[in-house]
Structure 1
Amino acid sequence: MNIIIKSSKSLTQSLQNPNHLFTSQFSTSFLVTKTPKAFKKKRKPKPSPRTTLVQTEPNQNPNLERIVERDSLFRFLTKSKQYLINQPEHVLRLDDAGKLHRELGFPRGRKVLRSITRHPLIFQTYRHTDGKMWFGFSDLMEDLLAEEQSIMDSMERDRVDKVRKLLMMSAKKRIPLCKLHHCRVLFGIPDDFRDQVSRYPDYFRVCVEENGLRVLELVDWDPLLAVSAIEKEFMVDEKGAKRKFNFPVKYGKGLDLELEDARKLNLLNTLPLVSPYSDGARLDLWTLEAEKYRVGVIHEFLSLTLEKRAYIHHLVEFKEEFSLTKHTYQMLLKQPRAFYLAGTEMNWVVFLKDGYDKNGVLIEKDPQVLLNEKLYKYAQMPEMEQGAQVGMEKLHLT
C-alpha cells in the first residue's frame, strides 16, 4: 500500500514538472541573463540647444564666433566690474563674493579666488583690519574707471539720443527704466542714467505705476531722429540697401523663372520696407508688413548698440515694446545678408554684418569700445609690460 502511495506521489510530481529529471538543487542566479552595459550598443545623445551651434561648419564666420568666445572668457571680468562699481569703495569681502557666482560671473562650485587671480592687473586681494580677506580693483583699474567716467561725460548727449530713439521705436513710446538699466552696457548708458533723466525734462518723463514700476516716457517726438540706419544707407547706396533683405515670393515650379526674374519678383515683395519708427503695433502680427517691421526694428536696435550685436536676452527684454514674437530666431535666420547668428541655439548672438569688416573687426568704434579693448588687453597680462607702464605713467602726469 505504501509503495502505491509513493509511486502516485512521484507520478504527480512528474506531471507538475515535466523537467524534474533535470532540476538541480543549486541556484542559477549567478548566470548572466542580460547583455552587459559594456557590450551594449551606445545610443547617440540627442542634440541639445544648449550645445548645438547655430551655424554649421561651412557657414561659420570664425572671426565673429571668436568674439562670442571672448565674451565667455571675460565673463567674470565684465560682471565683477559692474558689481564692484556699485559697492562702497569698490571692494567686497571674499567670503561674500564666494556666494555671488551668478552676480560675479564665475562657475558655480568653484572658488572665486581662482577667477580673481587670472586678472592680476585688474583685481587685487588684501587682508582688512577685521582679519577678513577682501578683494577690489587695482590702481590700474581705478585709473581705467576714471577714464571711463570721462568718456561717459563726453558722450552723454549721444547716449540720451540713443534712449530717445529706443523710446520712439517702442509701441507706446515708453520703456521701464529697469529694462534700460539691464541693457545699459549694450548701449553705453551710464549706471546713474536713472538720475540723469531729470536733467532732460523736454525729452523724458518718469511715471510710477501702481505696482511701483518706474517707466520712462517720451515727451517730444523728433522727426530728425526718426530716420533709421537702413534709410540713411538707402540714400547713399540704393542698390546695396535693396539687396540687404530678402522676402521671397512663393510660386510654383511651373513658372520656371530664371534667377534674375525670380530676384526681381522677390524685390517687388521686399520693397518698400517698413520704418522701425512707424506704429508697428497696429499691424496684423503674421502679415508680411509686420515681419518687415520686426526685421527693421532689430536692424535699427543693433545699429544703436556699441558693438553692433546683441544676445538673445537683450532682444527678449524688449519683446513687448518692439512687438517681437517667439519666431524671432527663425526670422533672423532668413536674413543672412543683414544678420549673422553665432553661438548656440539656446544662447545665440545676432551681429549686424555691415558693422564688421571681412576680418571680423568693428568698423566704427565708440570711445567706450576702445576702452574695453584696452581693459581686455590688461586683463590678459600676468604683469605690466614696460611700454604699457610708461603709458600709464604719462596718463598720471596729464
Structure 2
Amino acid sequence: MIVLIDQSKLKSVMAWRLFLSKTLNLTPPLPNPKILKICEFSTSFLVTKIPKKLRKKHKKPESARTRPVQPHASTHSRLESILTRDSTFRFLTRTKQFLSKQPQRVLRLDDAGKLHRELGFPRGRKVLKSIQRHPLIFETYRHVDNKMWFGFTDFAEELLQEESSIMDAMEIDRVKKVRKLLMMSKDKRIPLSTIYHNRLLFGIPEDFRDRVAKYPEYFRIVVENDGKRILELVNWGPTLAVSELEKQFVVSEDTVVKAFKFPVKYGKDLGLDENDTRKLNLLNTLPLVSPYSDGWKLDMWSLEAEKYRVGIVHEFLNLTVEKRASIHNIVEFKEEFSLTRRTYEMLKKQPRTFYLAGTEMNWAVFLKDAYDENGALIDKDPQVIFNEKLYNFAQMQQREVFSGIDEK
C-alpha cells in the first residue's frame, strides 16, 4: 500500500523544527572547562574540625562580673583566699542553715535536688555529690517510704549542740551588737528581716526574733500596716555610742590620722610643697564624724558626709564576727545607714584601712588592721573558732585519723 505525502505539509513541518531549534537553543550546553579543572573532586560531604590544641583561644570580654577589684600587683592573696574558702564551703553553710530548720532535721533527696539555690550547690548538678563531699557532717539513708533521705550525722548533731551553747554564752554580746546597729541607723529602727538575713555576719542566733522579747528595756517590735515587723530602739546607750575609731584615737592619735585620707580640693594652685600639702590635708582629715551622730542630715556630697559614711562602714565591719562583709550585706542596710551608690568608689579611696576583694560586681570589704600578714584574724570571736573547726571536719573522710582535733 503506497501512502502519498503532501509535499507542502512536509516542508512546513521541517521549517518549524529548524526555527525552534535556533530560537530555543535546544542543544545541551558544553561544560565549563574552568569548573571541571578546579572541582575535579567534591569534598563538601566531609566534616573537617580543627583539633582543640590548634584552635585559637578567644578571650572573653571583661565585665564587672569577672573583672577583679584589685590589680594583680596589689592583690592580697591571703584575703582573696578567704573568698575562695567561702565558695568551697557554700554548700556546707547553706545546707546546715536550711536543714536545721526542717522537721526532724532531715530532707528527702528528691526534694533537695530542686533546692540548688537554698542549699548552695551548682544548678544542674546532683546534690548527692555535694553531700558525699562531707561524710562527717551529712549522711543519706533509705526511709520506710523507700525514698532516699539525708540529714546530719550523730557527730554533726554534737557540733550543732556545741554551736548552740556558744550562741547562748554570747547572747549579751550579740544584744550589744544589735543595739549599736540600731543606734547607727537613721531612724533608730531596722526591719527584723534585714537583721535576720544577715544574722551570720554578726553571730546572731536563728531564734533571735524570739530572744529580743527578753529585753523590753532595749528593743520594741512594731508591726507596720503592710505587716512588716520593725525592730526599734527603746533606750539610747551613751556608753555604747563610742565607735572603734574613737577608741583607737584615744590610744594612738597618729595611727587614726594615717588610717584615712581625705585630700582637699583646692580652688586654685596654692604653690605648696609636698610637706605643706600633707599638713593641709591632715587638717581636713580629722575629726572624723561619729557614726552615732546625725550625720545623715549633712549635705550628701560634702566632705563631712563622706567622713560620716566611712565611719559608718568602719563601725559596721567592726561589729561583724569576721571584720568583713560582702556588697550584698552592705546593700541591705543602705537605707538605714544613708549609704550612696558610690560606696564602692568611697572605699577604694581608703586603701590603708579597707581591702576590697573579689570582682567589681561581687566584692567584699575587709578591715585590714583586723588581719595579720598571713590573712588570719587577730582577735577571733568564739563563733569564728567554731566555724574553722567545722570547716576542718567537713574536709575529713574519717574522724578517727584526726581525733586529736576534737579537743581543739
* Counterpart position of 1:71: 86
Equivalent position SS for 1:72: helix
Q: Deviations over 1:210-266 (max 9, x none)?
A: 110000000000110000000000001110011101101234895454332222111
Measured at CA, do residues 31 and 351 of structure 1 come closer, stay the same or move farther in structure 2, by a change above 3 Å? same
Measured at CA, do residues 328 and 107 of structure 1 come closer, stay the same or move farther in structure 2, by a change above 3 Å? same
User: Please, which runs of 5 or more residues in structure 1 have no aligned partner?
Assistant: 11-21
**Letter in structure 1 aligned against 2:279:** K
Give the one of 342, 357, 361 matched to 2:372: 357
* Counterpart position of 1:136: 151
The 5 A counterparts of 1:314-329 are: 314-329=329-344
Q: Please give the alpha-carbon distance, in whole angstroms, between the structure 2 residues aligned to 1:359 and 1:150.
A: 30
* Counterpart position of 2:292: 277
* Counterpart position of 1:124: 139
* Counterpart position of 1:111: 126
Q: Determine which structure has more spread, i.e. the larger CA radius of gyration.
A: 2
User: Please, which runs of 5 or more residues in structure 2 have no aligned partner?
Assistant: 1-15, 25-31
Give the one of 205, 230, 240 matched to 1:215: 230
* Counterpart position of 1:188: 203
Q: How far does residue 270 in structure 1 lie from its aligned partner after superposition?
A: 1.1
Give the one of 265, 269, 285 matched to 1:250: 265
Q: Please give the alpha-carbon distance, in whole angstroms, between the structure 2 residues aligned to 1:226 and 1:329.
A: 26
TM normalised by structure 2 equals 0.86
Q: How far does residue 389 in structure 1 lie from its aligned partner after superposition?
A: 6.4
The 5 A counterparts of 1:336-347 are: 336-347=351-362
Q: How far does residue 390 in structure 1 lie from its aligned partner after superposition?
A: 8.4
* Counterpart position of 2:69: 54
Aligned length: 379
Q: How far does residue 48 in structure 1 lie from its aligned partner after superposition?
A: 1.5
Q: Please give the alpha-carbon distance, in whole angstroms, between the structure 1 residues aligned to 2:59 and 2:399.
A: 48
Q: How far does residue 279 in structure 1 lie from its aligned partner after superposition?
A: 1.0
What is the RMSD of the two structures over their aligned residues, measured on CA atoms?
3.0
**Letter in structure 2 aligned against 1:308:** K
1:96 maps to 2:114: no
Q: Please give the alpha-carbon distance, in whole angstroms, between the structure 1 residues aligned to 2:126 and 2:290.
A: 49
Q: Deviations over 1:64-116 (max 9, x none)?
A: 00111000000000000010111111111101100000000000000000000
Q: Please give the alpha-carbon distance, in whole angstroms, between the structure 2 residues aligned to 1:31 and 1:105.
A: 50
Equivalent position SS for 1:358: coil
Q: Please give the alpha-carbon distance, in whole angstroms, between the structure 2 residues aligned to 1:138 and 1:41.
A: 49
Q: Please give the alpha-carbon distance, in whole angstroms, between the structure 1 residues aligned to 2:78 and 2:250.
A: 30
Measured at CA, do residues 25 and 181 of structure 1 come closer, stay the same or move farther in structure 2, by a change above 3 Å? same
* Counterpart position of 2:98: 83
* Counterpart position of 2:12: none
Q: Please give the alpha-carbon distance, in whole angstroms, between the structure 1 residues aligned to 2:76 and 2:68.
A: 12
Q: Deviations over 1:299-350 (max 9, x none)?
A: 0000000000001000000000000111111110000011000011111010
Q: Deviations over 1:356-378 (max 9, x none)?
A: 01111101111111110100000
Q: Please give the alpha-carbon distance, in whole angstroms, between the structure 1 residues aligned to 2:75 and 2:230.
A: 40
